[in-house]
Structure formats: C-alpha cells, structure tokens
C-alpha cells in the first residue's frame, strides 16, 4: 500500500502514477473517496491484477486528476458533492449529485452527516451549461418523460435541427444507496445490492459475493462457479434482448420491436420458472446449491435460439433499418478511450476490452470480445447481436459442466471480516466495480462504479452534431441505466 | 357499449426506481399483455391522464417534479403506487435522499401494487380493478 502524503501544491506523484496506469492500457475500476481525507484509485491491469494507489492529504483540497484523466471528472465531482473534498484544478467543478435543496453543510458520506437532512425549500435544478448565440435555442427535456423510462433532465443547445451541446443532469434518482449499505451486516447486503439496478442486478450481486470471498481467502467450489456463470450470462441475454428490441422502436420498426419484446418476455418467464425471479434478484449467493432446473434452462436456450434466428433474419435483411442506424451517434475510438468508455459502447468504437477475459471466473471458457469499429448506433447494435450469440454459447458450455460437477458445500463468511477489497465483473452495461471496506463484519464504506456511470459523458459527446430527433435512437443504442449511476 | 366508457389513461413518473418496475410497465405494451385491449394506455402528458403511476421511493430531487405532475392531472384523478419502493416498504426506504414512498411524500395512493417488482400480470389485474372500482357513475 503506498500512501503519498500530499503537502505541497503539486501532488505530482498522485497524478503521475495514475496517468501511468492509463498509458499502460489499464482500466480504471474505481476512484473512491473515504472518510479521513483519503482517496483510493483501483486499476485493473492488462494481466488481470488489481493495482491500488492511495492519496491522503491535509487541508481541504486534493490534486485533481481530471485534466489529465478526463474519465475521472465525474468521480471527482461526486466525491466533492458527497464528502466535500475539493479537487484542486478540476476543469469543471460544479454539482453532479448535489442540488440546491441540499443543506450547505450536508455531506452524506462524512461521519457526522444527518441521516435525514432538512432539505431547503427551493427548486432542485442546478444551473445548466448551454451554448449562447444567434439562432441557438435551448431545449429542456425531463426530468419526467413522455414514456415509461427512468428520470433524467437533459438540456440541449440546438441550432435548427442539430444538437450543439447536451448537458445531462442525471442523479434525479439518487437515493443514497452507498450510505444505506454502510453499517449493514453481511447478511443484509445481498438484498440491497440486488436492487441497485434492475438491469445489472446479477453483476452487482456477483461483485459483493466475490469481494467477500476474496477477503476471506475462499475459492468457491467449481459447481458454484458454473452456476454463477449461468446467472451472469442469463442476465446479459435478458438485458441485451431488451436493448435490441428498443433500438428498432427508435426508428419506428415496430415488427422488430414487438418480436424482440416477445423474445425477452419468453426468456424472462423462463428465468422466473428456473431461478425464481424475472430479473434474477436475490439469486446469487455464496453457496447457492445447483438447485435450478438444468433441463428447463436447456429447453429455454433451445427455444430462444429458434426465435432468435428468425428475428435476426428480420433485422439483418431490412436495409432501411441499417441505413437509419449507420453514421448516427458516432463515438470515435480516441474519445471512447479518453473518457474511459465501458462495455458495448467501448467495444463498438473498436476498443476490444471485455472484463470476462480477465475474470478468474471465466478462466475455463474462451471469451472473445465482440468487435465493431463504426462507433455508431449500428455498431452498438451489432455488438449486442454478437454478444447474445456468444452468451448462448457460454450458457451451453456451462450447462454441460454443471451436470458433471456437484457441490455439497456450505460456506458462510467469517463474522469478523475486516479490510478493503475491490471486485469487478462485466455487466451487460460494461465494467462494473465495487470497492468495499469491511470492519468487524459490517460495511464501513461501499462504493459502486458501474459501466453506465462511465458512459454517460460518452453519450453526451455522441449526440453533439446529430439531429434532435435522433436523440432517442442514440440514447437507446447506449441504453444506459440511470439507477446504476444515480444510486 | 357501457364497457367502452371505462377507459383509463395513465401517466408514469419514475421517482427513484431501479428500472425493474419500468421494464414491467413497458412489458404491458407488448403483445403478451396488450394492455390497450382493455382500454388502458399510457399517455405522454399528465393533462391527458386519469391516473398517475409512481415508481420508486420518491427521491428528494424528484419530489418537486412529481408534485407538479400530480397537480397537472385533471380531476377526478387516481394515484397509484407501483412496487415496494413507492408503496413505502422497499429496501431504500430509509436512505437519506428518499422520502419513503408516495404516501409520505405526496398523498395516500388510491391503489398500491406491491412487489419487487410486481409482475406485469399482477399490475394489469390491479389496474383493471381500478378501472371498475369507482369514479364512473354510469357503471
């Protein structure tokens, strides 16, 4: 562990060390604020190790990374909002989570924070960043929307039909999940992490379980590991089916939308019958014995394959549909890299990173990251097509394995678990990391960094230059969860 | 003919949900549930709505927007809490930025549909009860 005591104004070594990780091609897992003026940055190296850098300082401010590592910009704004630590030299230090309703001295993740603050009686809107000039119109959308979607407030600066700039005001759904997790006993955590996000629930559950096991020095029996792969891949298919069905809706291709939704519904009903929940909440545990109906899952996969091939023919052969997606919402590879894009969005821009290639869980399976390089809506659509098919392949491998392995173990974590640990997985929406500090079997700090959090700034960049009418389509092609980033 | 008088137009507001309730509400529009065949549909403006569906524990940031939307629904109107969070018994009930459900932040809902999340089938059945329950003297 390297503590770099920051007393001068430069803080050079903190910036330099983190820059070095980025230049070496490592993935930032999380930048976490902790009580006592402490920051930790965790990086996933190209060989699959986790490197930790820490910074402790005196005085109000710490050296900001954002000018050198733009992907840290949101993390530092969040740390500023929730702890009151000031990132010195941050290029855009304005509220991210905080609203004018928050009491001035309320920093929820500090020790002495009020559990129920006295909210100020004002509007919650923060000032927006807009473009000014002749012919520029500002269009505000949200936080409530005309359809059934999560809440977010978008401020577009537009000229004619084209978007000049999008200022996304998210965190409308900020509940304070990280704080809710603090002081909890281990047994209370799974139900909470299951519900951080409805679309990436298994990935969050896996991260918690894997963090506890890492810290306790336990390796789950092989059968249990195969079971976890079944859950993770089932969730990926569910989430991708949803997103793939939504993209055609964005261009009025209703047949593909409805048939896609039908496939999703069938898959979901199958999962409910097999694992007991339509979104796989509360399914992944330390020793979830392989109770699920393997034959049922095999039948479900076969039936998906049948409807999938029909649906693929429908979307593959519709030229107009592809015309509509190509060249829309382009993210250049350099931007994806600079902003630390994750998951589908990164792979669609030619960054061939998929955390499954490094996760110890997937060691027995060859995972080839999906590839596309257009960076547009089409590329993100194609990545998901490839990934559904590879997930089906992985499910079949895992199903063959679970039938030859079995586990009768029963394991519970030690009740005095203490220490810091970082875990990660590839959620349907990209690299998802949890940094957890345990103290005597209780959570002392729980930080969640999801793929969606990384990708929101990428989406804002992708829409600039496009027609306003294409925003829903571009948005659907990213299909970022709000709850994963708002927490 | 009398059945056609019982249409129900819904406006949805997410006030801090995890997106599972939203996905189940969206599923109602798929051909498997086809909510429109019962005269129920989702509308784009509260001005067109008979009922407001709320998901989530009502976060502080969404509280004001939710109140404005509710104010904009013409009378007579119905308030529906969808899912455990909105019902006031979800996992983030006591979070600092949560107001603990619809009842404690807005007013008592006319209908509470429990579940985490409630299944589309359950939501549909409960909404149909609302459709028949009251409010229309012609029934």
Residue A104 belongs to domain with CATH number: 3.30.460.80
Whether B115 contacts A192, CB under 8 Å: no
Query: B30: domain range?
Result: 2-133
In a domain, A174, yes or no: no
pLDDT digits (tens, 9 = 90+) for A195-241: 999 999 999 999 999 999 999 999 888 888 888 999 999 999 999 99
> In which domain, by residue range, is A46 found?
3-123
Is there a domain that residue A137 lies in? no
* Structure confidence by residue, pLDDT tens digits, A146-194: 888 889 899 999 999 999 999 999 999 999 999 999 989 988 999 999 9
Question: How far off is chain A from B5, nearest CA to CA, in Å?
Answer: 24
Q: Are residues A251 and A111 in the same domain?
A: no
- Tell me if chain A has a CB within 8 Å of the CB of B96: yes
Task: For residue B43, tell me if it sits in a domain.
Answer: yes
Token pair 């479900």 is found at A300
In a domain, residue A157? The reply is: no
- Tell me: do A112 and A207 sit in the same domain: no
> Which of B97, B99, B100, B105 to mutate to probe the A interface, most A CBs <10 Å?
B97
Contacts of A180 in chain B (CB under 8 A): 91-92, 94-95
In a domain, A129, yes or no: no
Per-residue three-class SS string for chain A: CCEEEECCCCCHHHHHHHHHHHHCCCEEEEEEEECCCEEEEEEECCCCCEEEEEEEECCCEEECCCCCCHHHHHHHHHHHHHHCCEEECCCCCCCCCCCCCCCCCCCCCCCCCCCCCCCCCCCCCCCCCCCCCCCEEEEEECCCCCCCCCCCEEEEEEECCEEEEEEEECCCCCCCHHHHHCCCEHHHHHHHHCCCCCCCHHHHHHHHHHHHHHHHCCCCCHHHHHHHHHHHHHHHHHHHHHHHHHHHHCCCCHHHHHHHHHHHHHHHHHHHHHHCCCCCCCCCCCCCCCCCCHHHHHHHHHHHHHHHHHHHHHHHCCHHHHHHHCCCCCCCHHHHHHCCCCHHHHHHCCCCCCHHHCCHHHCCCCCCCCCCCCCCHHHHHHHHHHHHHHHHHHHHHHHHHHCCCCCCCCCCCCCCCCEEEEEEEEECCEEEEEEEEEECCEEEEEEEECHHHHHHHHHHHHHCCCEHHHHHHHHHHHCCCHHHHHC
Q: Among A149, A171, A197, whose Cβ lies nearest the Cβ of B61?
A: A171
Min Cα separation A273/chain B (Å): 13
| Min Cα–Cα distance to chain A from B11, Å | 8
Contact B116 A281 (CB under 8 A): yes
pLDDT digits (tens, 9 = 90+) for B76-113: 889 999 999 999 999 988 899 999 999 998 999 999 99
The answer on A202 and A110 residing in a single domain is no
Q: Is residue B138 part of a domain?
A: no
- Written as tens digits, the pLDDT of chain A (487 aa) is 333 444 444 467 899 999 999 999 999 999 999 999 999 999 999 999 999 999 998 888 999 999 999 999 999 999 999 999 999 999 999 999 999 999 999 999 998 888 889 999 999 989 999 999 999 999 998 898 888 888 989 999 999 999 999 999 999 999 999 999 998 998 899 999 999 999 999 999 999 999 999 999 998 888 888 889 999 999 999 999 999 999 999 888 999 999 999 999 999 999 999 999 999 999 998 876 556 678 889 999 999 999 999 999 999 999 999 999 999 999 999 999 999 999 999 999 999 899 999 999 998 888 989 999 899 999 999 999 999 999 999 999 998 887 666 666 778 888 889 999 999 999 999 999 999 999 998 999 999 999 999 999 999 999 999 999 999 999 999 988 898 888 9
On whether residue A173 sits in a domain, the answer given is no
Q: What's the domain count of chain B?
A: 1
Contact B123, A282 (CB under 8 A): no
Q: Would you say residue B23 lies in a domain?
A: yes
Which H/E stretch holds residue B79? strand B78-82
Chain A residues whose CB is inside 8 A of the B30 CB are 258, 261-262, 265
Q: Are residues A251 and A376 in the same domain?
A: yes
Q: State which of A123, A141, A173 marks the end of a domain.
A: A123
Question: Is the residue at A131 inside a domain?
Answer: no
Among A109, A144, A482, the residue to mutate for chain B (most B Cβ within 10 A): A144
Please report residues of B whose CB lies closer than 8 A to that of A278. 24, 117, 119
Q: Does A308 touch chain B (CB under 8 A)?
A: no
Contacts of A486 in chain B (CB under 8 A): 16
- A246 lies in some domain: yes
What span, in angstroms and rounded, lies between the C-alpha atoms of A412 and B36? 48
Specify if B139 maps to a domain: no
How close, in Å, is residue A401 to chain B by CA atoms? 31
Q: How many structural domains does chain A have? A: 2
Q: What is the model's pLDDT at position A224?
A: 87
Residue from A241, A291, A153, A127 nearest B30 by CA: A241
CATH assignment at residue B119: 3.40.50.12280
Whether B88 has its CB under 8 Å from any CB of chain A: the answer is no
For residues A102 and A215, state if they share a domain.
no
Which of A73, A93, A123 terminates a domain? The answer is A123
Closest CA in chain A for residue B16: A173
Residues A268 and A395 placed together within one structural domain of the fold: yes
| CB-facing half-sphere around the CA of B43: CA atoms within 13 A | 17
Q: Is residue A281 part of a domain?
A: yes
A95 to chain B, any CB pair closer than 8 A? The answer is no
Please report, for the domain that includes residue A417, its CATH number.
1.10.645.10
Among candidate residues A80, A96, A123, the one where a domain is terminated: A123
Residue B83 placed within a domain? yes
> Contact A483/B17, CB-based, under 8 Å?
yes
Within-domain flag for B97: yes
């Amino acid at each position: 562990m390297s503590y770099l005591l920051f007393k001068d104004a430069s803080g050079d070594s903190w910036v330099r060390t983190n820059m070095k990780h980025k230049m070496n091609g490592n993935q930032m897992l999380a930048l976490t604020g902790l009580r006592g003026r402490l920051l930790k940055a965790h990086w996933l190296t190209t060989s699959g190790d986790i490197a930790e850098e820490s910074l402790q300082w005196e005085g109000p401010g710490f050296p900001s990374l954002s000018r050198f590592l733009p992907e840290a910009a949101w993390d530092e704004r969040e740390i500023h909002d929730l702890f009151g630590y000031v990132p010195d030299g941050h290029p855009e230090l304005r509220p991210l989570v905080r609203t004018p309703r928050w009491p001035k001295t309320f920093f929820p993740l500090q020790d002495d924070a009020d559990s129920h603050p006295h909210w100020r009686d004002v509007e919650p809107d923060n000032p927006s960043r807009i473009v000014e000039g002749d012919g520029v119109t500002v269009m505000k959308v949200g936080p409530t929307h005309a359809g059934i979607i999560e809440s977010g407030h978008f401020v577009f600066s537009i000229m004619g039909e084209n978007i000049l700039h999008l200022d996304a005001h998210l965190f409308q759904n900020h509940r304070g999940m990280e704080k809710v997790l603090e002081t909890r006993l281990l047994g209370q955590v799974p139900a909470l992490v299951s519900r951080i996000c409805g679309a990436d629930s298994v990935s969050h559950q896996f991260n918690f379980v894997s963090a506890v096991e890492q810290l306790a020095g336990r390796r789950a029996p092989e059968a249990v590991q195969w079971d976890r792969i079944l859950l993770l891949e089932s969730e990926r298919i569910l989430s991708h089916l949803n997103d793939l069905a939504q993209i055609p809706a964005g261009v009025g291709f209703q047949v593909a939308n409805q048939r896609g939704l039908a496939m999703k519904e069938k898959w979901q009903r199958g999962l409910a019958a097999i694992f007991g929940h339509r979104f796989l909440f509360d399914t992944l545990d330390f020793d979830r014995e392989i109770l699920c109906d393997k034959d049922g899952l095999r039948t479900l996969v076969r039936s998906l394959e049948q409807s999938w091939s029909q649906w693929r023919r429908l979307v593959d052969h519709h030229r107009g549909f592809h015309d509509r997606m190509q060249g829309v919402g382009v993210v250049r590879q350099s931007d994806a890299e600079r902003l630390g894009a994750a998951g589908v969005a990164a792979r669609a821009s030619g960054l061939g990173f998929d955390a499954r290639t490094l996760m110890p869980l997937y060691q027995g399976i060859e995972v080839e990251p999906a590839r596309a390089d257009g960076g547009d809506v089409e590329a993100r659509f194609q990545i998901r097509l490839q990934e559904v098919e590879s997930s089906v392949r992985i499910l079949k491998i895992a199903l063959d394995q679970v039938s030859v392995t079995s586990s009768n173990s029963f394991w519970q974590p030690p009740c005095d678990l203490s220490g810091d640990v970082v875990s990660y997985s590839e959620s349907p929406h990209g690299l998802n990391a949890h940094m957890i500090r345990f103290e005597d079997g209780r959570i002392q700090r729980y930080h969640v960094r999801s793929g969606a959090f990384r990708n929101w700034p990428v989406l804002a960049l992708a829409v600039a230059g496009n027609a306003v009418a294409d925003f829903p389509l571009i948005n659907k092609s990213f299909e970022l969860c709000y709850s994963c980033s708002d927490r | 003919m009398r059945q056609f008088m019982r249409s129900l137009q819904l406006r949805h507001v997410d006030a801090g949900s995890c997106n599972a309730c939203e996905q189940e509400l969206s599923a109602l529009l798929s051909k498997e549930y086809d909510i429109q065949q019962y005269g129920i549909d989702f509308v784009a403006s509260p001005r067109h709505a008979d009922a407001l569906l709320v998901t989530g524990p009502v976060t502080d940031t969404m509280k004001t927007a939710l109140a404005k939307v509710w104010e904009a629904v013409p009378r007579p109107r119905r308030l529906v809490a969808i899912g455990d969070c909105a019902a006031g018994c979800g996992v983030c009930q006591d979070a600092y930025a949560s107001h603990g459900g619809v009842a404690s932040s807005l007013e008592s809902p006319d209908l509470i549909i429990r579940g985490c999340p409630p299944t589309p089938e359950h939501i549909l059945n409960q909404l149909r009860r609302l459709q028949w329950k009251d409010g229309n003297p012609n029934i």
